[in-house]
Amino acid sequence: MTHEEKKTAKIVEEMTMFFFALEATYIDTRIERKEEQVIIRVEADFDPAYADKLSHLEHYLNGQKNDGMEDIYWELAGSGDPGETSQLLLVGMMIDQAEITIRQNCVKMCLVRNL
């Protein structure tokens, strides 16, 4: 497995743990590998009591990508407490774009990582 595949797996792990922390009962993840990018789609429900944890999700995931930080810290993704801001910021540094749609108790995300 290459480092790029491991990084993708870490992103999926972190987002899965994030939604478990929001009491999700349904998490669907799809990965599409293309020549020059990886697209990760996540759909999950959440307990409405945790809706406030979603309020800054787009801000954290659409932060500026930092290849230098990513190269050093990518292995730490998934290692902290689920839903920690630092973990979401790390995922944001590892991806190039995040599209997030939140409706009632459902979240749909499309995370794009250019290779």
Q: pLDDT tens digit string along 13-45?
A: 999 999 999 999 999 999 999 999 999 999 999
CB of 47 within 8 A of CB of 25?
A: no
13 CB neighbour count, 10 Å cutoff: 16
| Backbone phi and psi for residue 54, each to the nearest 5 degrees, phi listed first | -90, -10
Rounded CA separation 71/85 (Å): 19
Rounded-to-integer distance, Cα 82 and Cα 111, Å? 18
Q: Which domains does the chain have, with CATH numbers?
A: 3-114 (3.30.565)
Q: What is the pLDDT of residues 47-94, one digit of tens each?
A: 999 999 898 899 899 987 766 666 665 565 555 565 556 678 888 888
Report the predicted TM-score, pTM, of the whole model to 2 decimal places. Answer: 0.86
Scanning the chain, the segments in alpha helix (DSSP H) are: 3-21, 57-61, 67-73, 85-94
